[in-house]
Amino acid sequence: MSSTISNKDIALSIINFLKQSVAKKEIAEDYAESMDVAIDCIADAFEVNKDDDSKTVKDVFDGKSLSDLLQSIEKSSTAPTASKSVPEVKEVDAETKAKADELKVQGNRAMAMKDYPEAIAKYTEAIGLDPTNVVYLSNRAAAHSSSQKHDKAVEDAEKAIELDPNFSKAYSRLGLAKYALGDAKGSMEAYKKGLDVEGDNKSDAMRKGYETAKKRVEEDLENSISTTDRSADSGASAGAGAGAGAGAGGLPDLSSFMGGAGGMPNLAEMMNNPQIMQAAQEMMSNPDAMQNLFNNPAVRQMAQSMGLGGENGPDLSNIMNNPMFNQFMGGRGNPGNDGPSSN
């Protein structure tokens, strides 16, 4: 077809189409005269000879009429286009297929001997000769998984599924590789599709793979829920513990050591309680904190029962010099005591 088609060429093609339609009586005779008028108008408008149709038909459009050209365009537009996800089918002759099959056999032998690199090499050669053979891709996926190259196994399995969605073994390869990669959900879905493809003739390998992946998915879900629950319980316990052990000024509540209302504290128990000893040391370094502590009625009652204060509250100087307090502190609270002598 000429690359320099002009408007005159197109006009002559239209004129030729109208003349043929009249000659073949493809239109009613009542419109024949109207067609002649139309032809004359087109010829005058484009300044062409209405009887010169040889150039248009034989030279410009490769001997095709306007009707032929339009039909060719329609066939081209309605023809199915190759999907990007579906590779172009490569025609392989019988000799090439035989060579590819022999390479596959060699790959199978290498797999049996656990020589996975050799198996991968042979399957790769076979795929190079016949890239659309799903068996070669599936076998190489198995070899990749055996070599712990599960990501490559996923690629081969998915490629095989693209080529033939009804090739069930590819789903099994995909399920195994995804499970090994930690994608239990993806593995379960792959096995499920494989079971659907197998229909009534479900294989034991596909069943077991599906059940194993499904169990892992359920375990992961249970572990996730348990972890969330433990975190919530831990937060609640920490909050409760902080509230239960806290007293005035952030110090522990000593009322539990009072032996009940009006009772005397058990000094031995207090001295053996690390929480109390820590609080005592903090009070000695911060007298304000100690004064806040004695604002607690229970603690005030304890001090009065020990003879450490009057109605207006304890005298801090008396408390700090009181033998019972010094015994309680073991000399740690008295600023004048440097501890036991080293001599």
The whole-number pLDDT of residue 127 equals 95
The reply to whether 272 and 322 lie within a common domain is yes
DSSP state for residue 314 in the 8-state scheme? E
Distance CA 30, CA 7 (A): 30
The whole-number pLDDT of residue 131 equals 93
The CATH number of the domain where 132 resides is what? 1.25.40.10
Angle among Cα 66, 68, 69 to the nearest 5 degrees reads 65
Q: Tell me how many domains the chain contains.
A: 3
The whole-number pLDDT of residue 20 equals 80
SS3 253: coil
Domain assignment of residue 42, yes or no? yes
Domain assignment of residue 236, yes or no? no
Boundaries of domain holding 272: 250-329
Domain assignment of residue 323, yes or no? yes
> Mean pLDDT of residues grouped by 10 in the chain (343 residues)?
67 80 80 84 83 57 64 61 50 88 96 96 95 95 96 96 95 96 95 94 93 93 78 60 48 47 51 62 63 63 57 53 50 42 41
Distance of CA 306 to the CA centre of its chain: 68
Query: Other C-beta atoms within 10 Å of 225: how many?
Result: 10
The whole-number pLDDT of residue 60 equals 56
Domain assignment of residue 336, yes or no? no
The whole-number pLDDT of residue 267 equals 53
**pLDDT (tens digit per residue) in 193-208:** 999 999 999 999 999 9
Angle among Cα 234, 237, 239 to the nearest 5 degrees reads 110
The reply to whether 63 and 98 lie within a common domain is no
The whole-number pLDDT of residue 175 equals 95
The reply to whether 205 and 103 lie within a common domain is yes
The whole-number pLDDT of residue 15 equals 80
Distance CA 173, CA 150 (A): 10
The reply to whether 66 and 99 lie within a common domain is no
The CATH number of the domain where 17 resides is what? 1.20.5.420
The reply to whether 262 and 161 lie within a common domain is no
Domain assignment of residue 340, yes or no? no
Q: Please give the helix or strand (H or E) that residue 196 lies within, else none.
A: helix 184-198
The reply to whether 115 and 173 lie within a common domain is yes
The whole-number pLDDT of residue 224 equals 83
Distance CA 91, CA 88 (A): 10
Task: Find residue 309's DSSP bridge partners.
Answer: 314
pTM of the model as a whole = 0.45
